[in-house]
Amino acid sequence: MTNCLFCRIVAGELPSKKVHEDEQTFAFEDIRPQAPTHVLVVPKKHLRGLKEAGPEDVELIGRCHLVAAQIARQRGIENGYRTVLNVGPGAGQSVFHLHVHLLGGRRLDWPPG
């Protein structure tokens, strides 16, 4: 989608600090980090969000999480990190291209705000 921020990042039309790329996923540093590690993992395929995902997206969503786990391992934050999907404006979703937040490197309290 040409007017989607994260599609444009994946396509290299907008700059990002790339962390990982494979055939189906792309990961980059969040521009406003909320923790020492704050990486966004997105499917290259445009998907508006979890609500809009279908059975055909099962593997892709799983892959995004496994990429997050791999980055957490590489960064040595496996003592405690969080993967988060904000779903819908009421939960703070502001970019409507599905993305998994990987947050870690500091204490993460529960419940989140």
Q: What positions carry a catalytic annotation?
A: 99
Percent helix, strand and coil across the chain, each to the nearest 5: 30, 20, 50
Site for ligand AMP in 13-32 (CB under 6 A): 16, 28, 30-32
Report in angstroms how near the CB of residue 82 gets to ligand AMP at its nearest. Answer: 13
Among candidates 37, 10, 14, 4, which has minimal Cα distance to 24? 10
Establish if 4 lies at the interface with Zn ion (CB under 5 A).
Answer: yes
| DSSP structural state of residue 2 | T
Instruction: By CB under 5 A, tell whether 60 contacts Zn ion.
Output: no
Residue 20: what are its φ and ψ, rounded to 5°? Answer: -160, 145
Pick the piece of the chain touching Zn ion (CB under 5 A) from 14-22, 46-54, 87-95, 102-110.
46-54
State the nearest-atom distance from the C-beta of 28 to ligand AMP, in Å: 6
Single-letter amino acid, residue 16: S
- Three-class secondary structure of residue 61 per DSSP: helix
86 sits near ligand AMP (criterion: CB under 6 A) = yes
Supply the minimum distance, in Å, between the C-beta of residue 4 and Zn ion: 3
